[in-house]
Amino acid sequence: MNFDQVDLIIRDCTILPLANMEIINDGLIAIKDGKISYVGKVVNAPEMTAENVLESQGKLAMPGLINCHTHLAMTLFRGLAEDITLERWLNETIWPLEAKLKPQDVYIGALLGCLEMIKNGITCFADMYFFEPEVAEAVKKAGLRAVLASAIIEAGDFEKGRKMLKEAVGFAKRYQGYADGRITALLGPHTAFTCSEELLARVREEASKTDLGIHIHIAESKEMAMNIRKERQLSEVEFLEKISFLEDDVLAAHCIHLDEKDIAILVKKGVKVAHNPVANMKLAQGIAKIKELIDAGITVGLGTDGAASNNSLDMFESMKIAAILQKTNYKDPTVLPARKILEMATIKGAEALGLEDQIGSLEVGKKADIILVDLSKPNLTPLHELYANLVYSAHGYDVDSTIVDGKILMENREVKTFNEKEVMEHAQNTAFNLLKR
């Protein structure tokens, strides 16, 4: 008898496909050439053999979590700028430290961030930062999937903005499809506040010409939004629409300070939103109108933001806070139910990054980006309702295994792609050295 040969089988698990399928008990997932070749019940599976079999009784197989907005190397700044305003946070701590950063610092900080995300079940993330080639190298080593944008900040210095745009375009051309296709490149203008109208117009021109998407912060700070309105007599979103910047290739982080007209513009232009509830709360920037955005038809993914403002890269924490914050804001416990939140962290996150045909759900033909959650934990017992347990009770440390492109990055909480202890030691030393410069 001829048996189908596959690379990896995950068997005897509960499966949460987050596609047009219900929860599957006694399930099996087969992976071949980095893609899912079967997902369903064990009893219905075709006869097959595999190089590797994960016996996964008591575990849940689900799509890997997608972190739609972060600044990965800011793990090095974790705990340094606490309990102060955004303006002081930026001007007194973050920007002065970033001015001292060297490429190797960013690589080490990014590798630490990759480690933290693997441990927390994040298989794909969107990043905007400096020395982005170093982030790409960290992603390659770690085995994760990433959507990377080299940051572009002008801040009144025309030549600086011009240089950073050139570097960002060069990065995108070089690293598009890097790391066996796991890296997608975008352009990363920081904000409409730190980039001039001329620079933003050039970013849009380059993005359209080269078919690159754009990752930008929009309406994060009330003060910055007020300054833009005072200067231009337009809201931030109205200004970006006026200069023809907004298109369906834009990923807009935060989007807190929006009015009805702004939301209508985002809908019309097909802009995607990355919601970062923990960082927004911690820096006291306000509560985004996520219910209105979703009700209007806007695709909303979930993000952590950087570890300097969060201070963790735990998407389970972000899911819970996203849910309860909206319920509190609207004084309505039915707002953003658990399943909707879980979709924001998976399939909607994939849509926000333009990767919904590849990741975000467990379906035949999609990339095998899968996590196994250990359901045999006190905080996940009893199991009355799976979605509720995942959103309101689970933590990143409940993730047992992390798989990207069919390759096991972590099994039984042990990371396979690099030495955890060495990564943390190097990050600790790098962070201390950075403070001394």
pLDDT in tens, 252-263: 999 999 999 999
User: For residue range 226-267, what is the model confidence (pLDDT) as tens digits?
Assistant: 888 988 899 999 999 999 999 999 999 999 999 999 999 999
What are phi and psi for residue 13, nearest 5 degrees?
-110, 165
User: For residue range 41-67, what is the model confidence (pLDDT) as tens digits?
Assistant: 999 999 999 989 999 999 999 999 999
| pLDDT score of 3 | 61
**Does the domain at residues 4-62+373-413 carry the CATH identifier 1.20.120.530?**
no
| pLDDT score of 155 | 85
Instruction: Encode the chain in three state secondary structure.
Output: CCCEEEEEEEEEEEECCCCCCCCEEEEEEEEECCEEEEEEEHHHCCCEEEEEEEECCCEEEEECEEEEEECHHHHHHCCCCCCCCHHHHHHHHHHHHHCCCCHHHHHHHHHHHHHHHHHCCEEEEEEEECCHHHHHHHHHHHCCEEEEEEEECCCCCHHHHHHHHHHHHHHHHHHCCHHHHCEEEEEEECCCCCCCHHHHHHHHHHHHHHCCEEEEEECCCHHHHHHHHHHHCCCHHHHHHHCCCCCCCEEEEECCCCCHHHHHHHHHHCCEEEECHHHHHHCCCCCCCHHHHHHCCCCEEECCCCCCCCCCCCHHHHHHHHHHHHHHHHCCCCCCCHHHHHHHCCHHHHHHCCCCCCCCCCCCCCECCEEEEECCCHHHCCCCCHHHHHHHHCCHHHEEEEEECCEEEEECCEECCCCHHHHHHHHHHHHHHHHHC
Average pLDDT, the chain: 96
| pLDDT score of 225 | 85
Q: How confident is the model at residue 191 (pLDDT cuts 50, 70, 90)?
A: very high
User: For residue range 278-307, what is the model confidence (pLDDT) as tens digits?
Assistant: 999 999 999 999 999 999 999 999 999 999
**What's domain 65-352's superfamily in CATH?**
Metal-dependent hydrolases (3.20.20.140)
Q: What is the pTM of this model?
A: 0.97
| pLDDT score of 309 | 94
Q: Which residue has the higher pLDDT, 81 or 106?
A: 106
Per domain, the residue ranges of the chain are 4-62+373-413, 65-352
**Quick check: 408 pLDDT over 70?**
yes
**Quick check: 198 pLDDT over 60?**
yes
* Mean pLDDT of all residues in 129-140: 98
Question: pLDDT above 90 covers what percent of the chain?
Answer: 92
- Residue 422: burial class (beta carbons within 10 Å; 0-12, 13-18, 19+): exposed
Q: How confident is the model at residue 86 (pLDDT cuts 50, 70, 90)?
A: confident
**Quick check: 1 pLDDT over 50?**
no
Place of tokens 């992603």: 139
